[in-house]
Structure 1
Amino acid sequence: MTGKDPRDETETGRDPAADSDLSARLKRLETQIDRKRPPAAPDPSSRSGRTDQPSPLGQAMRLSTEFVAGVLAGGLLGWGCDQLLGTKPWGLIVLLVLGFAAGVYNVMRVSGFFRVTDTKNDGTGT
């Protein structure tokens, strides 16, 4: 316990000068590899800058909101028509179906299923 152990200088019994030489050679090799390696392309999943496309979660929330709003509007209008006109189930049924159709149409429109046609004048004067 009090005696000198030859491994006290280094854990593995190697010369410290050889370890420093090896470390220096490894660093030189790393720098040479880094110089020859082409620069990495940016990760497409990283959202460092703002894009004009909404996130998938935002798009899903908007689509579900469009659908639910159409159905709720149709149901409320149907219930109101039934109360005012006295046509107990028929106003609710008809306008609820129309609200469902409007909700489906809105989801298809927002998701890009229908192509948007340009109705503006193109400036040719015709």
Structure 2
Amino acid sequence: MANDEFEARRDRLQRTLSEREAAERAEAERANTSALAGYAAAFRLSTEFISAIAVGVVIGFALDWWLGTTPWLAIAFLMLGFVAGVLNVLRSAGLIQSPQPGKRPPAR
């Protein structure tokens, strides 16, 4: 009789332990997925920012070379690229709305 009770209790504990281990694995998987999503978003935002600055500098140098105004247009377009990069990051992060009404996200 005592053996049957111990075996029933052991089976019940084994089931509980299995359920908790499965829940812990699922939680760890969710945490890992959200961390990877965060890294991906950070990489995307930094890429948008740096590419806007690079495009501004390239356009500025090209115009300087063409018009012979070195380095003034490169400096001006560097600043414009910086501003464009900041605006792109803010739009992507959802902190400001897109200027085009059709592309605006729904209000929260």
User: Which category of TM-score, normalised to the shorter sequence, fits these structures?
Assistant: 0.5 to 0.7
Tell me by how many angstroms 1:79 deviates.
Answer: 0.2
CA-to-aligned-CA distance 1:39-65 (integer Å, 9 cap, x gap):
669544424xx99xx701110110000
**Structure 2: which 5+ residue stretches go unaligned?**
103-108
Tell me by how many angstroms 1:25 deviates.
Answer: 4.3
The one of 53, 63, 69 aligned to 1:81 = 63
Pairing 1:92–2:46 present = no
Tell me by how many angstroms 1:32 deviates.
Answer: 3.7
In the superposition, the TM-score normalised over structure 1's length comes to: 0.59
Tell me by how many angstroms 1:36 deviates.
Answer: 8.2
- Per the alignment, residue 48 of structure 2 pairs with 66
Residues 116 and 28 of structure 1: CA distance in aligned 2, closer, same or farther (over 3 Å): farther
CA distance in 1, matches of 2:99, 2:62: 35
CA distance in 2, matches of 1:57, 1:71: 21
Instruction: State the one-letter code of the partner of 1:29.
Output: R
RMSD value, Cα: 3.4
- Per the alignment, residue 87 of structure 2 pairs with 105
More helix by share: 2
Number of residues paired by the alignment?
94
In the superposition, the TM-score normalised over structure 2's length comes to: 0.67
**Structure 1: which 5+ residue stretches go unaligned?**
1-20, 121-126
The one of 2, 7, 10 aligned to 1:30 = 10
CA distance in 1, matches of 2:11, 2:100: 56
Higher relative contact order (CA 8 A, sep 6+): 2
Identity of aligned residues (%): 32
Would you identify which runs of 4 or more consecutive aligned residues in structure 1 move more than 6 Å?
Answer: 34-37
Matches within 5 A, 1:7-18: none
